[in-house]
Amino acid sequence: MAVYDMDPTDAFEEDSLGYFHIQCCQTQPNEAYPLPIRCQCFDAEAEAYWYGMESGHVGTVAFPSFGRYAHVPAHRGAVVDLVPASRGALSLSKDQFKLHTAGGMTLLSYKTKEGEDNMCCAVAQHVGSSTVIVGRENGTLSVYDLQRTSRLLLEASVGYQSVLKLKLVNNLLACGTSLGSISLRDPRSGLTAQAVIQSHAGPIVGMDTQGELIACAGMNMFRGQLVPDTLVKVFDVRKTHQPVANVPFGPGVAALSFHPHSTGLLLLSSDAGVSMFVDITNSDEPAWFHVNCEGDTLTAADFLPSSEGMVFADSGGVAHLWGVHSGPKVRQFGGPLDPATAPSKLSSFHSISETDSFTSLEFPPLSAVFLSAYNGEEEALHEWGPRVVDETLYKNSRKADFVHYSPNPHFRRNISFRAVSKATANLRNKREVGHKVVSEGKKLRRKSRLPPMYRNIEIPQSFKRIRNEEFDVSFYNQTGFAGLENGMANCYANPLLQVLFFSKGFRDYTQQEKWLLNSEDEFSLTSELGYLFHMMSICPRDHPCQATNFLRALRHRKQAGLLGLLEAERGVPGSGSELETAKDKSLPMRIQSLCRFLIEQLGREENQVCGSCTVQHLFGMNVNSEISCLTGNYPRIRKSSTSYVLDLKYPRALPPDKASCNSFIEILRQSLHIEQEMKAWFEPAGGYMQVHQVKSVYSLPQYVFMNCNIKSEHQMHLWTLGHKTYRESGKFWPAETLYFQEDQDRNEAIKVSDRPGDLLPNETGRVNVYELMSVIAFSADEELDSFDKVQDVAGHLVAHVRIGEGIGSKELGTPEFTINEAEGSSSKQDEGKDTLLDTDSAAIIANAMVHLKHENSDKSNWVLFNDFSINPTTRTEPGKLYGLEKIPCLLVYRRSPAQGMEDKCNTETLSTTAVSAENYEEIFTHLVDAPPLNENLAKTPYTFAKLDLNVETPGPKMLLGIDAEFVALSAEEKGEGPSGCEEVIRPPRLGLARVSVVRGSGPRKFVPCIDDHIQTLEPVYDYLTQYSGVQPGDLHASKSTHYLTTLRCAYIKLRFLIDKGCIFIGHGLKKDMRMINIVIPPENLVDTVDLFHLKPQRRLSLKFLAAYFLGEDVQVKEHDSIEDASAAIKLFDKYQELERAGIVKDTLIDLYHFGRTNNWDVEAALNWKGNNESKNAYE
């Protein structure tokens, strides 16, 4: 036995990848000496967890409460295996197997012959099949049919070795044996042997499968004895001669399990509870953590099928639930268990006789308070006291490091392990009775850590943990709202973009025709925001959007670099040490400066384009300034200005009155009315003078952005102290609702309060109600002990956004209604408008709101946006402060639309002005007919025939082939990883270089209608000529011999065809459209890489498919987008031909067989006789 002097988790730094312990379930609460859980599984249909006991009991635990649902005796001996079935679960013991319902009822029972000891079982082919395979100790495999009263179908033998583990892998049955081998059998051909893998020298103790992978752990011989093998071996059934990975695990494996959604991510656990996550492609970077079994042995560990949690079982009969949030689900669409029938209440008796039942007795009142009422400062009786180590064990114990080892006093030779374990149970499970637990208050409290939803998660750019193309984004976003991708330069702006997206007035403003069809200014920030918001409105939750084009436009603002708002990129001239030196090191300060700069730039763009003041009405605050000279008799200077962001001003020293100091309203009042003395240039005096300046805000816009402006420990202390004081009084910091009273004469500063009765409307001004809409905060990646270290610690930004009722129902209204909808006017747009570009997120956001209300029980309608990780939160979460790990940066208040008053700005200006079909077609025709940017191409014939809308009508019946080529505008950033190897930290930034669209139907089939080369105004780092076909000089107006245009013009032309409903055909279109920053609805997208894909095998290249099916050798030297688009159309025609003949699957099987046989050789595919017919058909 072993007795720990300290917590074993102190030996390493824990990292459970966002999983944390939620609760435990004691399966035998009334047993003094509970027996171990031997096996476990999860229900195939319901939200339930199954367990099998050493005592022969089988039970179920209901989700999400994780409480006992059923616990019934099923077998006379121990349950050795448990697998899910269509109507419940199948339990297996040494002499029989049974089929149970979730309530414990036995549907089927079959007793095996004497001497045939069962060891393991598996349901053949898939969950729900009626065929079950049982592995036995004598090396026999028996197949039974459950629908025919357990009829024995066939038997097979694996040799003179016991079958210990059975798992299905790629339509094969993997049999782990007592001699350390894995026998692969085919259930479809009578369990015939396909291959044998020799894994370990001793028995297989753990095995799991994923796709074509098998992970197994076993025993090895050491000095003539069996000891746990410290290597977990992973095999590929397609390559059985040697393991594809050897994962070291020193403690010895007691249980292992593959992650359901992440390829190659493996969970390993020892019997002491030491566990780790490891990627088999990079075993040098494990994530260690510890499962506290309180001295018991860990016996089983499995992921939930939804991957939202894990369940660990121990020898004390306790199941431990871990999860990424407090309510994990077993399956994504699993149904709840039927509620158990409550027993009828028995009548009580004051006196009973010898013939009366003891159930009529009333229980005596409890002598102690419930744990839920325990305040943490008093003594409490703990029913389960700490474990007590018997004094006899210390006599013969010896200490190594921090562990005491003692021989088992009940061990004798020729005595089974089970008998010794039972004899030692009294010593092992001995606890102190009536133990008093005294809380030491703050001494025992650890510093608060941020919840897992604040964790910085990046999509991996290499095989560092999970393959990039297999990264499951929907796992981090269950709300239905679109997230934004990180991992690129300047992506710290993502939270601010989310806030602007949910500002309906501004979102409608960006969707106006003057911005969406603005082809003149290629780097218009307003236009790029409009395109980004459109993409966020229609993009599904499992495909995060990229703000690439917006960040591109931001990089072309020289002032942004001078203000320190831009991050450096490797390989970009002028983007190295200059930007890195000018960059604001403090991320909270940088996002505040970006907010001010961005809104000011949006206002300037509007003045240059149309001269209106919509941005000023939405975000601008009117400020009066008065400057007077303190020396001399000079006149005062008065002027008015517009400020888009309000900086909060804090007192320099704590005043005696704490209530005044901790008041958020007091700080806000000081920020709205500022008085200060300073030395400044005074125009009437013609020099620098000592002046007195007064600044007062007298008018507020629809959206008020406030910079928290926290720059010191003292200012952060004000927030911490204020949050604590407000929380004790039942309020919130910052205030959820603010009341402002404006002075119509503009002589006095605006008045503010957080109580409705303090300000009453009078003849000088009205009272406006503002509600807190968003909080942008800095989330530190590690604990901070000093505010001065904020610039040095790694972190990222998150946004709390209030969505739905109150703000959200008006905020996310359908775009066809003006902003006066809250006032009951609900006037629709003109019927002459066409909403081709106005695909706002009405339906998608409505569905997301339904899901949000279902997931968020308190209906707070607050959502945390952490790049592409989006989680509903409670009402109090935006104001919570976790020490110094969460620092508020920006507050956004929105004028309540329920006041029944008119907004200052013109409602027609703020409403969504949908693009008319006539103007849309006119702009498209103008761009198609526009001459190229390179004048030297005027006498050269174009490589395409322009699309004439008078002859060809774009619509759902028009088929178009599309392909795009890209160049690298920056180099990839590499660095040394934890394993010491070089890894890609940030991929290269790619830019669109060429896009070609080819007609796929009609008399002009295969004739290109668009072949645009995109002019680049920034230096190209690498033309990638081998893959793009773009040569140096092709993208410059003075040298190019191709049709050259701007990215904005090409974007608008593609958007026109997409909005018209054309069907686009291509190869690998998802990646191309992602790089172009455009979204094609799935129903209008045909990707040949998916059409000719036989799951779960590799995807095939366009070059091989064209050679095999068409007999064409494409991409001979360089890629040509017109050639690739035409080949994709021909492949689609071939697929339709196969589909009409009903031989698609057979053809794909032959295709993959041919490819594997010829090592995917293109020359062999070109010479294949079957492609001559297709080639002749097109000729």
Q: Which residue has the higher pLDDT, 932 or 443?
A: 932
Radius of gyration from C-alpha coordinates of the chain: 35
Q: Which two tokens stand for residue 940?
A: 């050269």
Q: What is the pLDDT of residues 1134-1157, one digit of tens each?
A: 999 999 999 988 899 999 999 888
Span 87-104, average pLDDT: 89
**List of long-range contacts for 1028-1032, beta carbons under 8 Å, 24+ apart:** 1028/965, 1028/966, 1028/967, 1028/993, 1028/994, 1028/1118, 1028/1119, 1029/965, 1029/994, 1029/1118, 1029/1119, 1029/1120, 1029/1121, 1030/965, 1030/967, 1030/993, 1030/994
Q: Does the structure show a pLDDT above 90 at 204?
A: yes
H helix and E strand count, the chain: 27, 55
Residue 1121's nearest CA partner among 1013, 971, 981 is: 1013
**For residue 341, what pLDDT is reported?**
65
**For residue 728, what pLDDT is reported?**
64
Torsion of CA 407, 413, 415, 417, to 10 degrees: 40
Residue 234 main-chain phi, psi, to 5 deg: -120, 125
Q: Which residues contact 223 (CB under 8 A, 6 or more apart)?
A: none
Check: CB of residue 665 under 8 Å from CB of residue 753. Answer: yes
3-state secondary structure at position 1060: coil
Q: Does the structure show a pLDDT above 90 at 808?
A: no
Whether the upstream peptide bond of residue 734 has omega within 30° of 0, thus cis, is yes
Span 146-155, average pLDDT: 73
pLDDT grade for 30, boundaries at 50, 70 and 90: confident
Q: Does the structure show a pLDDT above 90 at 496?
A: yes
Residue 619 main-chain phi, psi, to 5 deg: -125, -10
Q: What is the pLDDT of residues 228-255, one digit of tens each?
A: 899 999 999 888 778 899 999 988 999 9
* Residue 541 to residue 533: CA distance in whole angstroms: 14
**For residue 1171, what pLDDT is reported?**
58
Q: At what angle do helices 1121-1141 and 1144-1157 cross, to 10 degrees?
A: 130
Q: Which two tokens stand for residue 1089?
A: 């890489």
**For residue 437, what pLDDT is reported?**
44
Span 99-118, average pLDDT: 83
DSSP 552-566: HHHHT-HHHHHTT--
* Residue 460 to residue 440: CA distance in whole angstroms: 44
Q: Does the structure show a pLDDT above 70 at 1050?
A: yes
**For residue 464, what pLDDT is reported?**
38
* Residue 82 to residue 381: CA distance in whole angstroms: 38
Most confident of 146-160, 963-977, 988-1002: 988-1002
Hey, how many other C-beta atoms are within 10 angstroms of the C-beta on 910?
A: 23
Q: Does the structure show a pLDDT above 80 at 791?
A: no
Check: CB of residue 185 under 8 Å from CB of residue 163. Answer: no
Burial track 291-318 (b if 16+ CB lie within 10 A, e otherwise): bebebbbbbbbbbbbbbbbbbbbbbbbb
Q: What is the pLDDT of residues 482-495, one digit of tens each?
A: 888 887 888 899 99
Check: CB of residue 964 under 8 Å from CB of residue 998. Answer: no
Check: CB of residue 743 under 8 Å from CB of residue 764. Answer: yes
Quote the DSSP letter at residue 329.
-
Span 966-985, average pLDDT: 72
Q: Does the structure show a pLDDT above 70 at 359?
A: no
Residue 123's nearest CA partner among 84, 161, 92, 91 is: 84
What percent of the chain lies above the pLDDT cut of 90? 23
Torsion of CA 803, 806, 811, 815, to 10 degrees: 120
3-state secondary structure at position 484: strand
* Kind of pairing between the strands at 231-236 and 20-26: unpaired
**For residue 598, what pLDDT is reported?**
93
Tell me the one-letter amino acid at 143. Answer: V
Span 592-602, average pLDDT: 92
3-state secondary structure at position 792: coil
Quote the DSSP letter at residue 1172.
H
Alpha-carbon distances of 590 from 651, 711, 797, 864, rounded to whole Å: 23, 12, 11, 20
Question: Any idea what the Cα angle at residue 14 is, between residues 11 and 20, rounded to 5°?
Answer: 135
Residue 1064's nearest CA partner among 1047, 1088, 1040 is: 1088
Alpha-carbon distances of 97 from 109, 191, 829, 1024, rounded to whole Å: 6, 21, 68, 62
Alpha-carbon distances of 275 from 165, 215, 650, 730, rounded to whole Å: 21, 16, 48, 42
pTM: 0.59
* Residue 93 to residue 111: CA distance in whole angstroms: 10
Q: At what angle do helices 713-728 and 664-672 cross, to 10 degrees?
A: 130
Q: Which residue has the higher pLDDT, 301 or 350?
A: 301
* Residue 236 to residue 239: CA distance in whole angstroms: 5
Per DSSP, helices labelled H in 368-416 are 391-395
Span 413-429, average pLDDT: 80
Query: 178-187, 564-573, 822-831 — which is least confidently predicted?
Result: 822-831
* Kind of pairing between the strands at 88-92 and 96-100: antiparallel
* Residue 267 to residue 281: CA distance in whole angstroms: 14
Residue written as token pair 């703050």: 442
Instruction: Please state, rounded to an integer, the average pLDDT across all residues of the chain.
Output: 79
Q: Does the structure show a pLDDT above 60 at 467?
A: no
Residue 550 main-chain phi, psi, to 5 deg: -65, -45
Q: Which residue has the higher pLDDT, 832 or 913?
A: 913
